Structure 1
């Protein structure tokens, strides 16, 4: 049963399906198998690309030039450059979440120079092993790779996907993802999805009504609502409403869900590690097969891709409402959420960046977040020399936070970094 509690709703009552900023507990009953000890085994999946590798940069630049992408250098820096966070992310997992059975590292064939590949607790998985349609390769799209994670051979029934820019800073337990009774913990950002045009909310697309205000490119021409209708595109000035490929993929997935499950207001899952169930994953892949296939074909992140996190966690809600897959849910009056910090890596001068890193270190000590997310947000391309200085400062911070090498690291002699932090 799915229960709404008006006492926690922070939105007008004319939107009865709106989900408030609470944690949801969803019982997973997708597989009818009898519970075994292996049901408690959870693997960790990383998706990693060494964007600083010269061959990768050449292949990416060549592709971006072929589609006339003008900001290729800046895109490569912000989305793909490897500041070496994977090593520290694995250190943090060993220190704060050493309950994973095995780590699977998905790569395009690259292997970190420091990685100890003979460890029984880590396995390299290449894109070639995952993608059934080899013409989709090479790919530079994390969304395309995510869509095939469930194909990893030997992967546990439930697994956690975590990007290499997430550094755990305090204990993270399995109980942060599921309750002792097997219920999923789902966390959403508060607030509505952005409207796709000035006068068209996202839940109005594919709602069965042809609306001229939604008949715009941003709103995907009102989905299927205006097919066969003689209608002129909306004259609303939407030039100031622009979406990057990430926000666009969320809206696209919302439109698909409106069509499949009915229009309603949905919310965006919070960032961080995400727990998945292979059975539900496969069910989504079959239910949205055409768009799943399209997502796999896109070479870079695309606004018409399925956004996996949005699709997966909103499907849990839909399944509980509609009684699909034997998933039941109760809305819990609980504002518990992840405690985390954001570390923005950008073009600050050396003094400002080092002050920022000092503040980050103090905030970790005082606020005790569960993890830190390092995000590249450069507004312009910078030289290789500047990048190396930034990288050195970041490593100095992480070496202070996580000085002990993990069991996944080869013992390599490196010159000690002089820290100004």
Structure 2
């Protein structure tokens, strides 16, 4: 029997920033010298396609209970904030005052479970994560309310400063959980026909004494609020360290840690990695356009690339807007009247 929304509500949470907003830029520039890990033009620039995120939600997930938009004192000009299904959440409503203003996405995400009224079951989106065709509640949570996810072992392959963040998360997992015990208890979740090719990586790393890394599928995250609250509570020192970093830092932990807790405790339901696909807008833009057109995957991620020049950026923005307008031309209840 298919899970029904009436059994438990499922909320969507999405974070968004307009890096071209003058008020935001003024605030950013006061602290920009601290930004040593991010490339601002890639992390904060806006492709102007966010309204299609809402159009996709209305068309492909009309069953969603409520949408929470998390921003830094910003609201898209076209957004209908009077819609009872939308609540705009400012950083100051969930982030402790002493850490504001904050530009660290890792730190912001660690606080989303504090949103007043947020349902126990919610799906967290970055603003580059789009629904690409019809989805059902069962795509995100099992009939018993467990987050849907894919468990696979992976190895850290250091190249960027950001890779330190994988180490920080895994250090906590290896401190609190014994890999041998986990793999014994969760054997059929880590080695499962639904995991497809990820089973190969898991087999290769199965007998390694410690967890090296999990496969991070950069899709919308299915999360239970109570689990997230527990993870943050049990790792307060690491949480505080991350909050002290106004910009992303090699010292951070991330929301992925909440996923990892669910994986090692078995509190998730196995889902195929084929449910989504991540595309780099520089190197795989052609594939992304085809997926947007034919809806091959239920969820897609359109990932910015710091190597995209301003000229390329303008061209990609134009192409994306044209594609989305063809795919989702109907204005939704989430948009203001003209």
Matches of 1:361 and 1:68, distance apart in 2? 32
Matches of 2:310 and 2:111, distance apart in 1? 34
Q: Partner residue of 1:244?
A: 161
Q: Residue 223 of structure 2: which of 236, 261, 276 is its match?
A: 276
Secondary structure of the residue aligned to 2:59 is helix
**Native 8 Å contact 1:340 1:372 kept in 2:** yes
**Native 8 Å contact 1:176 1:185 kept in 2:** yes
The alpha-carbon distance between structure 1 residues 261 and 113, as it changes in their structure 2 partners (threshold 3 A), is: same
1:304 aligns with 2:251: yes
Q: Partner residue of 1:345?
A: 281
Matches within 5 A, 1:390-409: 390-409=316-335
- Structure having the higher helix fraction is 2
> Which runs of no fewer than 5 residues in structure 2 stay unpaired?
180-209
Deviation string, structure 1 residues 160-182 (Cα, Å, up to 9, x no partner)? 11111112111111101222233
1:373 aligns with 2:289: no
Q: Partner residue of 1:144?
A: 107
Secondary structure of the residue aligned to 2:25 is helix
Deviation string, structure 1 residues 373-411 (Cα, Å, up to 9, x no partner)? 11111326536xx64444222211111111111211113
Q: Partner residue of 2:259?
A: 313
**Native 8 Å contact 1:50 1:110 kept in 2:** yes
The alpha-carbon distance between structure 1 residues 171 and 68, as it changes in their structure 2 partners (threshold 3 A), is: closer
> Which runs of no fewer than 5 residues in structure 1 stay unpaired?
1-36, 196-240, 321-326, 413-421
What is the Cα deviation at residue 295 of structure 1?
1.4
Q: Partner residue of 2:47?
A: 83
**Native 8 Å contact 1:97 1:171 kept in 2:** yes
The alpha-carbon distance between structure 1 residues 138 and 68, as it changes in their structure 2 partners (threshold 3 A), is: closer
What is the Cα deviation at residue 365 of structure 1?
4.4
1:54 aligns with 2:22: yes
**Native 8 Å contact 2:149 2:222 kept in 1:** no
Matches within 5 A, 1:195-210: none
Matches of 2:62 and 2:303, distance apart in 1? 25
1:156 aligns with 2:73: no
TM-score normalised per structure 1: 0.66
What is the Cα deviation at residue 364 of structure 1?
4.0
What is the Cα deviation at residue 296 of structure 1?
1.7
TM-score normalised per structure 2: 0.81
Secondary structure of the residue aligned to 2:223 is strand
Q: Partner residue of 2:185?
A: none
**Native 8 Å contact 1:102 1:121 kept in 2:** yes
Q: Partner residue of 1:10?
A: none
The alpha-carbon distance between structure 1 residues 76 and 362, as it changes in their structure 2 partners (threshold 3 A), is: same
Aligned residues: 303
RMSD: 2.6
Matches of 2:172 and 2:337, distance apart in 1? 49
Determine which structure has more spread, i.e. the larger CA radius of gyration.
1
Matches of 1:48 and 1:262, distance apart in 2? 37
**Native 8 Å contact 2:12 2:124 kept in 1:** yes
Matches of 1:161 and 1:179, distance apart in 2? 16
Q: Partner residue of 1:192?
A: 154
**Native 8 Å contact 1:39 1:158 kept in 2:** no
Matches of 2:252 and 2:330, distance apart in 1? 39
The alpha-carbon distance between structure 1 residues 125 and 267, as it changes in their structure 2 partners (threshold 3 A), is: same
What is the Cα deviation at residue 115 of structure 1?
0.4
Matches of 2:225 and 2:35, distance apart in 1? 38
Matches within 5 A, 1:29-178: 40-65=8-33, 67=34, 69=36, 75-132=39-96, 134-178=97-141
**Native 8 Å contact 2:156 2:166 kept in 1:** no
Question: Which region of structure 1 is more displaced relative to structure 2, 264-273 or 98-107?
Answer: 264-273
Q: Partner residue of 1:294?
A: 241
What is the Cα deviation at residue 368 of structure 1?
2.0
Deviation string, structure 1 residues 254-278 (Cα, Å, up to 9, x no partner)? 0122122246324133111111111
